[in-house]
Structure 1
Amino acid sequence: MTKQEALMETREPNHAIAEEDRLRADLYDFLAVLLAAPPSDALLAKTASLSGDAETDLGTAVAALSRIAKHSKAPAVEREFNALFIGLGRGELLPYASYYLTGFLNEKPLAALRRDMAARGMTRAPNVYEPEDNIASLMEMMASLITGRFGKPASVAEQKTFFNKHIGPWAGHFFTDLEAAKNSVLYASVGAVGRVFMEIETEGFRMSAE
């Protein structure tokens, strides 16, 4: 599996959305791909080509990720990915909502997510067995809601509901753990990008209610 889209059956979006929302969706998708599987040389090259605004926290984090990607090779990053997420029996981190919210896998947060997925026509691909509440899948789902990959684009209120229920309560903690993980090198910068992005999204959704 080299693309996160393998986790779910998707329809290509054909909707006009605001440029700001397109950029948000692109970042969610980018995080999804990086967290779904070890990046290829092509993805590392794409990551190395990114630039960020040094005057913003997110831009600074993206620029740092780009610098590390320039000096990273796919085999080394694959070993890093495996140590973080796979390991012998389990990796250093367990990137699942159920684990972060309850301390166990396959718990109520997964059941709640599956209900919301079914209501929106989201389905896991039949050849994929990883629980849907993993961070990569949730990043992809959020991008899909923004772009309308499963129908019309979700409203801000609908995005906020999904984010606050399935992502907001734990994703920031996961990305902070990823930054600090002993096996993180490239993925420490992925964690920084994710953490700052989750902070921006949380504040954006909070402001949307005012």
Structure 2
Amino acid sequence: MGGVAGFVYSTVPVVVFVTANAFLPLPGAVGVAVATGLTLFVVRLLRGERPVAAVGSLLGVAAAAGIVAWTGSARDFFVIGIWASLAGFVVTFGSVLARRPLTGVIWNALHGGKHRWRSDRSVRLAHDVATLAAASVFGSRFAVQQWLYLTDSTGGLGVARVVMGTPLTVLAALVVVWSFRRSTRRLIATGRTGEASE
């Protein structure tokens, strides 16, 4: 997830935009946010990071700024993230309802797609828990940020974006790592392979 640097890269443009919006006209705040995104892009390239990751972050800031410029509303800086959270919730929660928790599908794919992980109740339960943890993060982000969006609280959206960003992602990731390790211990160690379609 990029560690401390990843947290900084994802947080700084948000903080800069919200702060600039409090003191500058909206076009000026948008300009400052884009300039910040460009600066971080150059810094990441100079640090030798993968261009794809650096470009992705820059495009995210540019897209958010473009929506704000189009709608004329500062709160729309956060609209992409809000709807991305809803999409993440639908996918993760839906996979649990379909009895194919997403973390289990990913774990199996990373291990050659050859393990009967769904036939082991404790392993599937572990992936249910891990996928529901991810769904909880996505769902809570959407619920809180959509409410703040509807109340037109740009500052609140900025705080929520930072607080509910990397910290919650790390917590969910710890549960996912636990489920991956549990799967590896129970399935690979016991040699239960086959049924790649699971």
What TM-score, normalized to structure 2? 0.31
What TM-score, normalized to structure 1? 0.30
Compare CA radii of gyration and give the structure with the larger one.
2
